[in-house]
């Protein structure tokens, strides 16, 4: 079974701080992040796939 994930910056920052970003790369075939997360991190990894958010209505709801 193919396992994909979507990550926010908190998860990536936490794993980076304990030097265990490899957990995500080893656990999931693909890890997607929005552009805002990439910008917040200030770095990228080969296995992180930047994908634009497609459901802008949901973003507005979550921001409210």
Task: Indicate the domain borders of the chain.
Answer: 4-63
pLDDT tens by residue, 32-41? 999 999 999 9
Please answer whether residues 12 and 20 qualify as being in contact, where contact means their C-beta atoms are separated by less than 8 angstroms. no
- pTM of the prediction? 0.78
Confidence of residue 1 (pLDDT cuts 50, 70, 90): low
Q: Write down the H helix ranges in 1-64.
A: 9-17, 22-27, 35-41, 56-63
pLDDT tens by residue, 19-63? 999 999 999 999 999 999 999 998 888 999 999 888 888 878 878
């Amino acid at each position: 079974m193919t396992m994909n994930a979507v990550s926010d910056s908190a998860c990536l920052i936490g794993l980076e701080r304990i030097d265990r970003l490899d957990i995500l790369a080893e656990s999931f075939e693909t890890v997607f992040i929005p552009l805002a997360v990439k910008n917040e991190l200030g770095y990228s990894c080969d296995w992180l796939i930047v994908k634009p958010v497609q459901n802008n209505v949901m973003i507005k709801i979550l921001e409210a």
